Structure 1
Amino acid sequence: MFFLFSGSLAVVVDVQPRESVVLPGQNVTFLCKVGVPLQYCRVDIPGMSTFNLNNKLPPRGGVSYYGAGLSAGQCGFTLDSVQEINNGKVKCYLGIETEYQEPFGSMQLTVARPPRQPELDLSRGTDSLRVYKMHDTLHASCVIRDGRPVANISWYLDDELLTGEGLSMPTIVDLAKEDLHSKLQNLTRVLQPSDNGKLLKCVATHPALPENNVAARQLDVKYPPLSQQNPIDKFGYEIGKSGIISVVVEANPKPQIEWTIRGEKIREGNVDRSGRIEAESAQDKGRGHYVANLRIAAINKQDTETQFILTAYNDMGTQEYTVLISTSPEPEGLKKFIYKRYNIHGVEFGASAIVAIVAAILVVFFLVFLTVFAWKTDRWCFSGGAHVIDYTSGGVGGADGGGGGDHHRSTPRVVDGVDNPHHHGSQEYINGNDHPIKEKKIDTAV
């Protein structure tokens, strides 16, 4: 809103909309309103002459009055077909009977102009201009030039939108003469093996672009064969039938393959001494994924007890994989957990065996729980030392010479040792001995 104070009247000019972005050939409508009737409505459009408008005048030059009438305080217009020359500030001037000066409002009319194709620039790799190693830091910059309004930049790795960390704040450069704008943004990323083969894309979005403009570069990231969980378990083989051991190796560049079976080494494309086992050449599945197959003509029991060792290497490093095969079906759920957790291999387990293992584990957990419980609560074998109640120290009127009383009602005193449950203060018993004292008979003369 615009405020104009003249005399005693404050005139508020309400502009709707304040800004509009349109394509060449589209129409646009602006409206200026005040709270008092108007004498006249004059609009100034870039690239065109000034128009005096009201609802009684017919359209002229593609410009027509818009609003509820001057008496309602409304001064608006519609431009039927926007052209490049109309880009800029549009102004409305309002004639008010009580004002010496004209209140006015202004609006920004932006005639969209498509930017140039995005320009993507990548930093040099460690050893080569366009080849990178794992953990190299990639610096990329994208610039989208001469758009109206300024274009938006988005970064993608294949179809994954990159946001947040690694992206700088965009820089906008304005070319004031033609009201054109360029945007520049930088990306920093530590490259991982998973980035290999993916397209790094700088995408420009803009109202004047029928579809997004993209600049893209495929990343070539070198890395050694990646480790996997060892050993690799394979299930479902049958004694006497052929079988294939397949291992997917991730590496870039393509690795060389070698198998070691019971001490014998077999290079890819070769067979073992018996002619029963063949090591096929690694198959390229794209983006650093290679399948190494070992074909066995007739599986025997010894094979299910053998470690098949696959060695994959390239100029970035070497990795070994140990493969174990089994005639059991692939385990699921708890059974699979037990195989992996307790490293059980080369043994065939049925359902009853699995139940027995689980039961044994639960028993062990229960015993551990009882032990901890007893220790925490001083129970059973963890209880404190027992006590002896000493009744010999005398009670009321005891041996210490105090007042009289029943000398058998002594006060107990707790001392270290074991309490004799039969000792109740009687003198007939010796402490620690349950046998009564035999009274010695004195011989008298007859």
Structure 2
Amino acid sequence: MRILSAQVDVDKREQTVLVGDQVSYMCRVAVPLQYCRVEIPGLRSYNLNRGISNADVSYYGEGLDAGQCGFTVHRAKDDNNGEIKCTLGIASEAQESVGTMSLVVARAPKLPELDLSRGADDLNVYKVDDVLRATCVIRDGRPVANISWYLGDELIDVGELSMPTVVDLAKENLQSKVQNLTRRLRASDNAKFLKCVGYHPAYAGGQAETKRRLDIKYPPLPQRQPIEEFGYEIGKTGVINVTIQANPKPTIEWTVNGQKIREGSHDNTGIMEAEYAQDLGNGMFIASLRIARISKQDTEKDYILTAYNDQGSEDYRVKISTNPEPKGYEIGVAAIVGIVVAIMFVILIVSILIFAKLNGRWCFSGGATVIDYTGGDNQHHHSDLTSDGVDNPQHQVSTEYINGNDLIKKDDKINTAV
């Protein structure tokens, strides 16, 4: 004869706590208990009831008579990590009933380790379109840490990440996590920090990060041409400013009426001065041409700025005007998209109306039947089209057709005396 034990219902089969935290479990059955014994890693086996408690573990619940074997660990220690067992004795059963739970006492992993592949020149300097491969490892945590990747303040898309790998260290029940990133670099990535952020309950503040600043070389980037500058005044000093994005810092040269003016020098009249480019940081620079006295002729000239570095060069054509800057000149991308969508909508509506008129659809259809009662012969005149512009098969005499497409019914004509 097989002896079966009662099914033990366990609340919260797994809990994660920090060292020093209090944690409680409950094992219960539907019948009264004779005894309640618990086994916790790092502690002795305890026989518990409402009248017995000690400094490490105490009973909680409504009593053994209620079928409850609950207990509280007052201060969790690292060596309490592991499987907890509750053993319940029932008077009507020869075999003990056992419930099992898991207590995870969190241990902070090591700080994230971030390793980057080298650039095309076998250095930690990259170029646009280089493929960056990076690996983040967070070692020896309990439980395993979570990893997120950021470039600057932006979360990196999961499409650039591999599935993370978890490595178990069975001896101390510790786990490590490894994840790889593959990204084709672009100019906008320059000077941003690539960050591997680890999240774990035992980290101070719940997270820790390791970051590396990306140094990406690229030539001066093109802009909308020509660059138009407004608000200059005849007879007064004027400065033409052009913002350039490049890495490394570009060398600049202005060309005005065929004369080249290198940065830090004047033209042959001494009126124009090409100032040294100002470094704004993160690959942004301002090139300035100072004109001591603006004349009308100056507003009619083309100003060509050439910027170059070891990655390439770019020309920027500038026009200046004494007019104030037009309202809405600096129109945003969203506004441009809105205008284009509105124009396309108007074109669509006009096209639909033209199509409807040509095909006699909707409000352009000739759907009404007109009967002329004024004619001497009292003849009826019918429209040959239905309201949707389709030829009406019943435009002759309605009694000649049976169910639309059936054969025509031939009636003998009856001669009526006049």
Rounded Cα–Cα distance in structure 1 between residues aligned with 2:11 and 2:268:
88
Paired amino acid for 1:45: I
Residues 164-208 of structure 1, C-alpha deviations (whole Å, 9 max, x = no match): 111000000000110000000000111011111111011111111
1:74 aligns with 2:68: yes
1:231 aligns with 2:223: no
Rounded Cα–Cα distance in structure 2 between residues aligned with 1:260 and 1:249:
17
1:294 aligns with 2:289: yes
1:161 aligns with 2:161: no
Residues 267-296 of structure 1, C-alpha deviations (whole Å, 9 max, x = no match): 000011111110000011111111001111
| Structure 2 match to 1:17 | 12
| Structure 2 match to 1:241 | 236
Tell me the CA shift for residue 160 of structure 1: 1.1
Alignment partner of 1:203 out of 188, 193, 197: 197
Tell me the CA shift for residue 12 of structure 1: 2.7
| Structure 2 match to 1:273 | 268
Rounded Cα–Cα distance in structure 2 between residues aligned with 1:55 and 1:297:
94
Residues 239-267 of structure 1, C-alpha deviations (whole Å, 9 max, x = no match): 11111111011001110000000111000
Alignment partner of 1:39 out of 21, 24, 34: 34
- Structure 1 unaligned runs (5+)? 338-361, 379-446
Tell me the CA shift for residue 51 of structure 1: 0.4
Count of paired positions: 341
Rounded Cα–Cα distance in structure 1 between residues aligned with 2:91 and 2:157:
57
Tell me the CA shift for residue 10 of structure 1: 7.0
1:187 aligns with 2:181: yes
Paired amino acid for 2:158: G
Alignment partner of 2:211 out of 204, 212, 216: 216
Rounded Cα–Cα distance in structure 2 between residues aligned with 1:6 and 1:46:
32
Alignment partner of 2:95 out of 90, 95, 101: 101
Alignment partner of 1:138 out of 125, 132, 138: 132
Rounded Cα–Cα distance in structure 1 between residues aligned with 2:296 and 2:287:
23
Tell me the CA shift for residue 373 of structure 1: 5.6
TM-score (norm 2): 0.78
1:312 aligns with 2:281: no
Tell me the CA shift for residue 329 of structure 1: 1.2
Tell me the CA shift for residue 62 of structure 1: 1.5
Rounded Cα–Cα distance in structure 2 between residues aligned with 1:373 and 1:71:
88
CA contact (8 A) 2:129 2:186 kept: yes
Rounded Cα–Cα distance in structure 1 between residues aligned with 2:111 and 2:191:
23
Secondary structure class of the residue paired with 2:160: coil
Paired amino acid for 2:129: H
Alignment partner of 1:324 out of 303, 319, 323: 319
Tell me the CA shift for residue 336 of structure 1: 6.6
| Structure 2 match to 1:431 | none
1:60 aligns with 2:71: no
1:91 aligns with 2:52: no
Tell me the CA shift for residue 85 of structure 1: 1.1
If you compute each CA radius of gyration, which structure gives the higher value, 1 or 2? 1
Rounded Cα–Cα distance in structure 2 between residues aligned with 1:186 and 1:280:
45
CA contact (8 A) 2:5 2:93 kept: no
Paired amino acid for 2:115: D
CA contact (8 A) 2:5 2:96 kept: no
CA contact (8 A) 1:6 1:100 kept: no
Tell me the CA shift for residue 128 of structure 1: 3.0
Secondary structure class of the residue paired with 1:107: strand
Residues 17-47 of structure 1, C-alpha deviations (whole Å, 9 max, x = no match): 1111111111110111111111110100001
Rounded Cα–Cα distance in structure 2 between residues aligned with 1:119 and 1:105:
40
Secondary structure class of the residue paired with 2:50: coil
Tell me the CA shift for residue 16 of structure 1: 1.3
Tell me the CA shift for residue 6 of structure 1: 6.5
Distance 1:90 1:336, change over 3 A: closer
Secondary structure class of the residue paired with 1:201: strand
CA contact (8 A) 1:144 1:151 kept: yes
1:152 aligns with 2:146: yes
Paired amino acid for 2:99: G
Rounded Cα–Cα distance in structure 1 between residues aligned with 2:123 and 2:96:
64
Paired amino acid for 2:167: V
Tell me the CA shift for residue 118 of structure 1: 1.0
Rounded Cα–Cα distance in structure 2 between residues aligned with 1:269 and 1:6:
99
Paired amino acid for 2:316: Y
Paired amino acid for 1:151: A
Rounded Cα–Cα distance in structure 2 between residues aligned with 1:21 and 1:147:
13
Residues 80-123 of structure 1, C-alpha deviations (whole Å, 9 max, x = no match): 11111111001101111121211111111011111011111000
CA contact (8 A) 2:276 2:288 kept: yes
Paired amino acid for 1:266: I
Secondary structure class of the residue paired with 2:79: helix
CA contact (8 A) 1:6 1:99 kept: no
Matched ranges for 1:353-372 at <5 A: none
Paired amino acid for 2:49: N
CA contact (8 A) 2:5 2:97 kept: no
Rounded Cα–Cα distance in structure 2 between residues aligned with 1:82 and 1:306:
80
Residues 128-170 of structure 1, C-alpha deviations (whole Å, 9 max, x = no match): 3200000100000000000011011111111111131110000
Distance 1:288 1:36, change over 3 A: same
CA contact (8 A) 2:5 2:95 kept: no
Tell me the CA shift for residue 377 of structure 1: 4.4
Secondary structure class of the residue paired with 1:303: helix
